[in-house]
Structure 1
């Protein structure tokens, strides 16, 4: 079998800092340049106090959201970090070295190494005391979080598995004949073979195969109450599926390029909570909290974002103004934030589609966007990141992905961009370094542990106004931006039905979510 991708023999990426002409539209408050390679992913802790980044330099770093200071360096991977997820007491990272690692967020020490995959690990998801992973080896796996042992190996895809989503057993219908099969919940995977599969976690069996796409499935998201999966593909369509029956419900057409990302809200309009990192367990919702007249936002290689009515597939509006493929989306309080291959983040009025602000300063593609609250102010913040491996070709209207799969590995997508340099690492031991206590920001305290917190009766609803925008990029920097002056979301009209919000799911080439239709 070919060797694994390694950091050895590759040059370090230069750290590019903003010049005097790069800040228009949104001014950078702080630039953090500790990573020595591009940042591939970022994840926010459930209490909003810490941020985890995974990088091309083979390391992950923990940051304080209060002051942007690096709190700990997580070393041990032998190749670049593809994805990361931050939980209350542990951080999880996966890598092109075929392993997953679990870290103590207080000491920075590696607690567990998960071995078994035979190729690049693309994504991980921690849910219901289990760890799920997807890989270029065409499998997904379920692991015991504490023991590091494989519980199930999900085989059936004919090409690499990209995306993951989990539906807990208590969110599934309670038909007696299905109780045993559904006891462990359902895992949904999307693959470059053009299919999505639904797996019974308790048995490891394939429950349904969702066929219909004619291209790779790049992103997916679940709507928990309706048991509906939305998938985006290189065939330029979004499809809605009943994951229990496998029926294709509707097709969303009109994009002229690959659908790279989808967006859905993460909290109800009536509940304030610390936002959890991507790829975590789906939030459960009470009966009757189904999304009503919900919107689905999709970002594409055609340089646009489209807003759709989820129940009918009707396009509501189009958000233009991007100079490259749209790679990341986040809806929050009436504002739609986007990240693009043109290295800019943008803020749109979600109702009118008007462009409100452009954030300039990064030199490479924006990867992912998160909304959270700083540890001290508890005001909402937006976290974004920039991808290092996929390169979008705007001239051809296609999303071209340069896979770092080792030589000889099957690459289902075009490899057209120049190689990105990586750096040697002095140590490959599983170790961690912490900053002295005096140098660290106040990011180690307790918090809400991701619980849904009911706001006081007269507390104002969280607004975009006064937020801080956090961006991480392939230029190796983490940037903090001021976003004062953005429009506020209008309050819901009396009698408006409750609207539930689900988890955001992302993959190397996309992310996914849905938002409710605002009353008019």
Structure 2
């Protein structure tokens, strides 16, 4: 259902007294990625202008630009520890880079892909059985238009990270000690990666998804069932399930262990390019975004359709925290209450030409968009208030 009724504000979450910051970013270039981290007080944007920009969340203050890529950046993932804040980026220049978010320096360049690095994930491997040492370092899983998935180790020891030498940074995978695996099997571009523990799931334009063991390199399962390209995959380790969606307008729910399709979620009438699972328990939500100008909220374990959220245009980006959904598209940025399906607020009315990216954690909302009239890419930040960031 679609209900165009605004919810009243509460004292803890007040739309009318919010803090709102607006600033120009990346000229008139496309904003391809947006990362929000409240604990680190950071916003990170990436663009097809070959740069990554870092801002202070609470003030909107520009910190620095990360330069070095020789092509547009199409994938980002942070690596946080108590000691360091790092960022991993993938680009059309076929490389993956690691950045220090404190100094703004590029620490390492991974070379080996022969196509755009379209998606990536950073995952902490479980400790080796019988190893009494500290937990394993994270690894990077990258998916490319060259049809391959690669696994890389992060150089050095995270707390004592050293700058890689020029020789190491320029080395290709054949001579790099940090290239662990190349996972071969897909016959078309890799569009989406989702990973947890030793498991990674890749979704491809070859209409299949694959489940990989990123320690052994074994392909555990091939998920056949979609009739057209897969655009999004989500791995849910808690329920041992994989969700996949794409051009055929369906969402398949798979057993990660058996590889069997448990159910197919029907309702969208066009390409599904966006899929996100909230981590809230005991009632997680799966939200899908489609070219049919709707978002759908599903109960992932039963496949029950809970709400259909109608948008004025095709959604280009959305994010939800299990309580609210923030979504943007051509001429719109809208928020819903996920449990009721009610519209909370239309934001940026009359100001936005098209939304590039959104990020949302409950208290904070961030949107990168094209400003109406000027064509300038803008970054808007809202602090909706409240002490509980889960609101």
Matched, 1:131 2:140: yes
Could you list the per-position Cα deviations for residues 272-314 of structure 1 after superposition, in whole angstroms to 9, with x for gaps in the alignment? xxxxxxxxxxxxxxxxxxx545432211111011122222222
Q: 1:246 to 1:194 in 2, by over 3 A?
A: same
List per-residue Cα deviations over 1:463-513 (Å, max 9, x = no partner). xxxxxxxxxxx842211246579xx999xxxxxxxxxxxxxxxxxxxxxxx
Structure 2 match to 1:51: 43
Q: In the alignment, what sits opposite 1:348?
A: 336
User: Residue 311 in 1 paired to residue 304 in 2?
Assistant: no
Q: Summarize the alignment of residues 324-343 of structure 1 with structure 2, pairs less than 5 Å apart.
A: 324-332=313-321, 334-340=323-329, 342-343=330-331
C-alpha separation in 1, matches of 2:322 and 2:243:
22
Check conservation: 2:285, 2:322, Cα contact below 8 A. Answer: no
| 1:144 matched to 2:144 | no
Q: Is the 8 Å Cα contact of residues 94 and 111 (structure 2) preserved in structure 1?
A: yes
Do residues 84 (structure 1) and 67 (structure 2) align? no
Give, in whole Å, the separation in 1 of the partners of 2:205 and 2:191.
7
Query: 2:369, 2:378 within 8 Å by CA — same for their partners in 1?
Result: no
Contact between 2:199 and 2:214, CA under 8 Å: does it hold in 1? yes
Deviates more, 1:133-142 or 1:327-336: 327-336
Structure 1 vs Structure 2 CA RMSD: 2.6
Deviation at 1:242, TM superposition (A): 0.7
Deviation at 1:127, TM superposition (A): 1.2
Structure 1 residue matching 2:356: 3-state secondary structure: coil
Cα shift readout 1:337-373 (whole Å, capped 9, x = no counterpart) = 2222x1422111223322221122232233242327x
Distance 2:294 2:303 in 1: 17
How far residue 32 of structure 1 moved from its aligned partner, in angstroms, is 1.9
Tell me if 1:158 matches 2:179: no
Structure 1 range deviating more: 188-197 or 295-304: 295-304
Task: Determine the C-alpha separation between the residues in 1 that align with 2:357 and 2:206.
Answer: 23
**Superposed displacement of residue 386, structure 1:** 5.3
Residue 66 (structure 1) aligns with: 58
For structure 2, the residue ranges without an aligned partner over 5 or more in a row are: 1-15, 125-137, 157-175
What does residue 251 of structure 1 align with?
264
Maintained 8 Å contact 2:366/2:380: no
Q: Is 1:121 matched up with 2:109?
A: no
Q: Is the 2:368–2:378 contact (alpha carbons within 8 Å) kept by the matching residues of 1?
A: no
Question: Is 2:128 aligned against 1:109?
Answer: no
SS in 1 for 2:115: coil
| Distance verdict in 2 for CA 1:479–1:238, change over 3 Å | same
1:220 and 2:233 correspond:
yes
Are the counterparts in 2 of residues 27 and 359 from structure 1 also a CA contact under 8 Å? no
Q: Distance in 2 between matches of 1:326 and 1:71?
A: 30
How does 1:281-296 map onto structure 2 within 5 Å? 291-292=281-282, 294-296=284-286
Name the CA shift for 1:218/1:28 in 2 (closer, same or farther; >3 Å): farther
Tell me the TM-score normalised to structure 1 length: 0.59
Moved more, 81-90 or 102-111: 81-90
Q: Alpha-carbon deviations, 1:402-461, whole Å to 9, x = none?
A: xxxxxxxxxxxxxxxxxxxxxxxxxxxxxxxxxxxxxxxxxxxxxxxxxxxxxxxxxxxx
Instruction: Tell me the distance in 2 between the aligned counterparts of 1:103 and 1:193.
Output: 32
Q: How far apart, in 2, do the equivalents of 1:475 and 1:136 lie? A: 30
Name stretches of at least 5 consecutive residues in structure 1 with no aligned partner.
1-24, 169-184, 269-290, 373-379, 388-473, 491-520
Task: Please state if 1:298 is matched with 2:288.
Answer: yes
1:241-282 CA-partner distances (Å, limit 9, x unpaired):
01111110000001111112123224x4xxxxxxxxxxxxxx
Looking at structure 1, the residues matched to 342 and 39 of structure 2 have their Cα atoms a distance apart, in angstroms, of 32
* 1:263 paired residue number: 276
Q: Distance in 2 between matches of 1:489 and 1:66?
A: 17
**Partner residue of 1:402?**
none
Aligned 8 A contact 2:75 2:119 in 1: yes
Match of 1:469 in 2: none
1:368–1:190 Cα change, 3 Å: farther
Separation (CA, whole Å) in 1 of partners of 2:376 and 2:334: 18
Tell me, yes or no, if the aligned pair for 1:26 and 1:482 is still in contact at 8 Å.
no
